[in-house]
Amino acid sequence: MSKINEIRDNTVARSKALLVTVADILESVSKRNLAIAEDVAGFAVTQVRLPAEADDFSDYRTRTYDAYSELGKSLKSHGSDLIEVVRDVPGQIRDSLTLDSEPAAKPKPKPKAAKKTAKRKAPAKKAAARKVKVEKVEKEAAAAA
């Protein structure tokens, strides 16, 4: 019965660690999404105020260009941050499922694959069938190129 309790305790510990990790990941992604929303809202407010603040059309055009450039840079930065978070997710989950008391698992050697013998296809019996087959191969080669 103690083995069952040990397995249960191990499963509970892993589950809790995984839940904490998932919560951290959700928090990180949510904070970055809020930062994106803040930048987009700021951009929208700037665009609404711009016609009243611009002196002439040239100034309006310049300020609009600058606002779009600034938004693009911030979105690119936020995108890089989100990509970094997503790249870290597998490692965080793996770490949360690995308990400190466990020895590191050794990778299992891959079994050697048996050599496959190629089956010979029967040649097409009719000249028309061979012609269709050749055209099909040529089309596939052209599509691949």
Section 33-46 average pLDDT: 94
Name the residue among 63, 38, 43 with its Cα closest to residue 53: 63
pTM for this prediction? 0.58
What does the chain look like in DSSP terms, one character per residue? -HHHHHHHHHHHHHHHHHHHHHHHHHHHHHHHHHHHHHHHHHHHHHHHHHHHH-SSHHHHHHHHHHHHHHHHHHHHHHHHHHHHHHHHHHHHHHHHHS-TTSPPPPPPPPPPPPPPPPPPPPPPSSHHHHHHHHHHHHHHHHHH-
pLDDT grade for 13, boundaries at 50, 70 and 90: confident
pLDDT at 131: 59
Least confident of 8-12, 90-94, 123-127: 123-127
Q: Is the pLDDT of residue 65 over 80?
A: yes
pLDDT confidence band for 63 (50 / 70 / 90): very high
Dihedral, CA of residue 51, residue 54, residue 57 and residue 59, to nearest 10: -140
